[in-house]
Amino acid sequence: MDTLRAILLMVLSMALLAASDAFLKLASQHAPVGQVMLMLSIGATLLFVGLARLRRVSLNLADAFHRKVMLRNIFEMVGALGMIVGLSKIPLSLMAAIMQTAPLVVTLGAALFLGEPVGWRRWLAIAVGLVGMLMVIRPGGSGFTGWEIFPVAGVTGLAARDLVTRVLPQRIPSIAVSAYGFAAVFPLGLAVLLVTGTPLVAEPPVFLHMAGAVVVTAAGYLAVTTAMRMAPVSAVAPFRYTRLVFTAGLGMAVFGERPDGWTWAGAALILGAGLYSFLRERRLARQQLAVLRP
């Protein structure tokens, strides 16, 4: 039952995070990346602190400096930088296709660092998914700008963040973990703003879009954090692929994007590889259950 709840939470979080991508892209069309990161960090951190107080959840400062929490925050910073820079520079539909490699990277990381068993078929699925990502990015092609590297780094950072989330002490509440993660983005956003030297923008659309981004990002972030701690990574991670549908749809509806054939083909490979990996995991789980039954 916990696994089913975790899956539903993951699908909900992907819909919310797709809306967040759209809001952040809209905001980045007017404001610099550093400002977007700062506003997202401040707004989401305050939201989670308020939610923690409402639910009487303790935000222990010692937990914020727990070595695993700090490691998770580092990966959060990498993911946030890659995501926001990517959203500001490349089409939303292309961004969505690249981000869908995250479940495969999570599965790879779970095998390498958490000791979860992964057979040759799922290793092959991971390889196929990475080929699909290369088809989407097409490094060296005429459409390659170099900005595509940022979402790839973002995917890696977010996948590592999710793996660390899985091994956090259970005594640290998900709300607190979320608050610490968003707070960690603040110094990075400030550093980006200072290094680039771009002035702050105070246009009303920026604040409107960022308010929307904060609300849906915080809700999606809490949902994915809870889902990752509720069930095994291999069972929950494949449902991240629903984000492709939500984000690509918003890219076409809001920004008028029309992905080319290579993007669709690469996204299909990524999606197929992820679904196969999930189905293979379910089959192995059923076989293990059958062996354990008297």
Task: For 4-40, write each residue's pLDDT tens digit.
Answer: 888 888 889 888 989 989 999 999 988 999 999 999 9
Confirm whether pTM is higher than 0.85: no
Among 76-80, 184-188, 247-251, the minimum mean pLDDT is found in 247-251
Pair 273, 129: CB distance under 8 Å: yes
The whole-number pLDDT of residue 177 equals 92
Q: Does residue 8 contact residue 185 with C-beta atoms inside 8 Å?
A: no
Residues 130-147: tens digit of each pLDDT? 898 888 888 877 778 889
Integer Cα distance of 239 and 243 in angstroms: 8
Q: 54 burial class (0-12, 13-18, 19+ CB within 10 angstroms)?
A: exposed
Six-digit token pair at 225? 């954090």
Q: Is 41 exposed, middle or buried (0-12, 13-18, 19+ CB in 10 A)?
A: buried
Q: Does the structure show a pLDDT above 90 at 41?
A: yes
pLDDT at 78: 95
The whole-angstrom separation of Cα 162 and Cα 171 is 17
Separation of alpha carbons 38 and 11, rounded Å: 27
Question: Residues 154-165: pLDDT tens digits?
Answer: 999 988 998 898
Question: Which residues, in sequence order, are CB contacts of 89 under 8 Å at separation 6+?
Answer: 145, 147, 150
Q: Are the beta carbons of 80 and 188 closer than 8 angstroms? A: yes
Average pLDDT over residues 240-261: 85
The SS3 of residue 272 is helix
Asked whether residue 294 carries a pLDDT value surpassing 80, the answer given is no
pLDDT of 240 above 80: no
